[in-house]
A and B are shown apart, each in its own frame.
Chain A
Amino acid sequence: MADPEIKSYEQHHESRSPAVTESRPAQAVLMAIVFAFLGIFLLLPLIIVFHEALAKGVSAYTQSLSDADTRSAIRLTLLVAAISVPLNIVFGISAAWAIAKFEFKGKAFLTTLIDLPFSVSPVISGLVYVLLFGAQGLLGGWLKAHGIVILFAVPGIVLATVFVTFPFVARELIPLMQEQGNGDEEAALSLGANGWQTFWYVTLPNVKWGLLYGVLLCNARAMGEFGAVSVVSGHIRGLTNTMPLHVEILYNEYNAVGAFAVASLLAGLALVTLVLKTLLEMRYGAEIAATRGH
């Protein structure tokens, strides 16, 4: 029995016809450009980060990482990520669900709104919170009267991070869910599953790879965000400094080893993210293609 889906998949993986293949010199030039670009702009800085971090030996490196303020910055960054990533998972899934599976007024507007953090400078994102929660801000007086501290404290940093990382999960899921449609959910409901079972057994497994991608990217950004966090954090050493902010402070104090040691951790995070993503693609590539292709 012929299977159109399997056929199309095979065709997809066949090599291209000679008519649309570039000549060898053209291929070589294109690849040279790509590698040169990647080397200068990505690989070289990465090497320098590690080189500088280890310039005075391994012990200086570990010593600068065990500094109390550095440790506090690491802890804060982990805490912020641990709060904002789950929040964005919940938000991302809800938004993607609403946009992909329902028809409602203002849907286009909501889709645009989700992209807002990508199009707005992070500094502006931070400033918005200052204007909202600051002493002279819209809610500042009320917050102060009730003894709630948001700005220049952990809540403000979390809010700014959540805002900046808003789109990652949602953007990854929306096209995926739109493409998959409602068929599987309807099937589950017709078999007697309730809403929660349908979500847990059918919807979530269908989007799990997209979700994982989104979470990885979201996490990387949550730990690496500088601009928005810088505006709302207040740069209080050992209290409201995240790793990126701490790097800047150390660098401005001419503590190159300290700055690059912390930077190397962030760079390491980026590398781990990349490796995880690549591993996922290698291990489950076919399955990822299948859940997307259907």
Chain B
Amino acid sequence: MEVRVANVRKEFDRFPALHDVSLDIKSGELIALLGPSGSGKTTLLRLIAGLERPTRGNIFFGDEDASHKSIQDRNVGFVFQHYALFRHMTVADNIGFGLKVRHGPSRPPAQEIRRRASELLDLVQLSGLEKRYPAQLSGGQRQRVALARAMAIEPKVLLLDEPFGALDAQVRRELRRWLREIHDATGHTTVFVTHDQEEALELADRVVVMSQGRIEQVGTADDIYDTPNSPFVYGFIGESSSLPVKVENGEIWLADRPIGLAAPNEPSGDATLYFRPHDVELLDGCSGCIAGTVAASRRVAGTRRVELEIGGERQRVEIELPVDHPAAHKSRVAFRPGRWKLFPAS
């Protein structure tokens, strides 16, 4: 099922949580809504589910305008951040709940509901736990039951709010891979919210980066990481360093020196240069480069991260050096960014 969010605005007590957001989700796609807290990602998910009504704009399921349909009529599977399992019901009853509350002929007989619950438990690899209560399950198991319960109603769209947020790192990684497998097997259109970029980039077909109630960028992991289209995305996804620079006649200047980067299409004036700390070319001499003195250095896994003080303003930037690089405290290092991007000075 395709989902189209068209110019949706949402206000809570006059405070806008989403400004004019539009997003097309393709059928069968696995999409991540990624952003810091307060970016509006959960609000967008709840709007798609029908747990909130948009202040303006529409949400389409396929060609049908679902904006004013209730959550019951939208037929979405929603997995809540804290699972919201019914604690007084067994695992099987939890999973069968969505079928049990149906009316008339669409409601399967009790035996069929039990069979379906067992099937779904097999799918989420929890066979045999039918009679357990939620309190008797681990966090990861509850997560799986919540997913099985959401899938029991054969939803058109599967929505997950911070699905792995409450789990420890080991379980998270396991469940992440497992969710991908389930998605590939069942082919549900799936949207999940996360603040963990690693999770979003690894798991999703496309990532929607959000900030302050707006969508900053939509793209595959490669798009988002390699060509961020705003300072926010540069700063939020992966590591980044920035320097205030000037553009003059298509060349980039740092204070009074050109740094050997050409920007022929950029307008002259103040700008901010963004690059990745690991994507730099180290230079020996310095005619047309960025040079600074090492102010701090720390070992990060397989590399060394150093902080350089640059120029008279003592602007600090971070770059990565090989561990065997001889640079010590106060020594001078010259480099030029590999892949970089200019944004107008803020």
Contact = CB atoms under 8 A, between A and B. Distances in A.
Interface of A: 1-6, 183-184, 186-194, 197, 201-202, 205-206, 290-291, 294
A184 B86 contact: yes
Nearest to A187: B84
Contacts of A5: 135
A107 B166 CA distance: 32
Nearest to B149: A191
Interface stretch (B36-44, B95-103, B115-123, B264-272): B95-103
Interface string B130-142: 0000010011110
Contact of A193 (B77, B101, B167): B101
B72 interface: yes
A192 B88 CA distance: 19
Interface of B: 49, 51, 70-72, 75-78, 80, 82, 84-88, 97-98, 101-102, 135, 138-141, 149-150, 152-153, 166-168, 171
Contacts of B84: 183-184, 186-187
A201 B76 contact: no
Complex A-B, nearest 5 residue pairs according to Cβ-Cβ distance, in ascending order: A191-B98, A1-B138, A187-B84, A183-B84, A193-B101
17 contacts: A1-B168, A3-B139, A4-B166, A5-B135, A183-B84, A184-B86, A187-B149, A188-B97, A190-B51, A190-B72, A191-B101, A192-B101, A193-B101, A194-B72, A202-B86, A206-B88, A291-B88
Given A1-B140, A1-B141, A4-B139, A190 B168 contact: no
Nearest to B98: A191
Contact of B101 (A183, A197, A294): A197
Interface of A is mostly: helix
B72 A2 contact: no
A108 B154 CA distance: 42
Given A4-B139, A189-B72, A192-B101, A183 B80 contact: yes
Contact of B87 (A191, A192, A294): A294
Given A202-B86, A206-B87, A290-B87, A187 B101 contact: no
A186 B139 contact: no
Contacts of B51: 186, 189-190
Given A183-B82, A189-B51, A206-B88, 5 more contacts: A186-B80, A188-B86, A192-B98, A194-B101, A290-B135
* Residue among A188, A191, A192, A291 having the largest count of chain B Cβ atoms under 10 Å: A191
Nearest to A291: B87
Given A1-B141, A184-B86, A290-B135, A190 B76 contact: yes
A192 B138 contact: no
A186 B149 CA distance: 13
Contacts of A202: 86
A1 B87 contact: no
B99 to A, nearest CB: 9
B87 A189 contact: no
